[in-house]
Amino acid sequence: MATFAIRPDERVKQVYFTSTTISVELMDDRIIIVPLGWYPRLLNATPQQREAWEICGGGYGVHWEELDEDLSAEGLLRGAPAPGAYISTSKA
């Protein structure tokens, strides 16, 4: 059975948005880019609400107080969308 262990360099450094993606830069300089549609609360938020994030969980997560949304570096690395999020399976 495979296990996943968080390493200290997987702490969050920065969060960026485009109109369709969220990018999370880690302390080891990796950047995780996922569709904004994976996180409906962030997708439906205003740009100002999206930018009001803070690092949480000892550096391993991101929190949006006003949106009641939390993302973890571990979940992002595993490619885990929010429960019930629409995931497109089409290949453009």
- Whether residue 3 is contained in a domain is answered as no
pLDDT at 46 over 60: yes
- Whether residue 74 is contained in a domain is answered as yes
Give Cα separations from 45 to 4, 42, 88 (angstroms): 31, 5, 20
pLDDT at 8 over 90: no
Alpha carbons 62 and 35: distance in angstroms, whole number: 16
> In 3D, which of 34, 32, 44, 35 has the Cα closest to residue 69?
44
- Whether residue 12 is contained in a domain is answered as yes
Residue 84 pLDDT: 75
Q: What residues have CB less than 8 Å from 63, skipping those under 6 apart? A: 53, 54, 55, 56, 57, 69, 70
- Whether residue 66 is contained in a domain is answered as yes
pLDDT at 51 over 90: yes
Print the domain residue range for 52.
8-78
- Indicate which CATH number applies to the domain containing 23: 3.30.2020.40
- Whether residue 89 is contained in a domain is answered as no
pLDDT at 83 over 90: no
Banded model confidence at residue 5, pLDDT cuts 50, 70, 90: low
- Whether residue 88 is contained in a domain is answered as no
Over range 38-54, report the average pLDDT: 97
Q: What residues have CB less than 8 Å from 15, skipping those under 6 apart? A: 22, 23, 24, 25, 53, 62
Over range 54-77, report the average pLDDT: 96
> In 3D, which of 23, 17, 61, 24 has the Cα closest to residue 43?
17
- Whether residue 30 is contained in a domain is answered as yes
**Number of domain units in the chain:** 1
Banded model confidence at residue 89, pLDDT cuts 50, 70, 90: low
What pTM, to 2 d.p., does this model score? 0.83
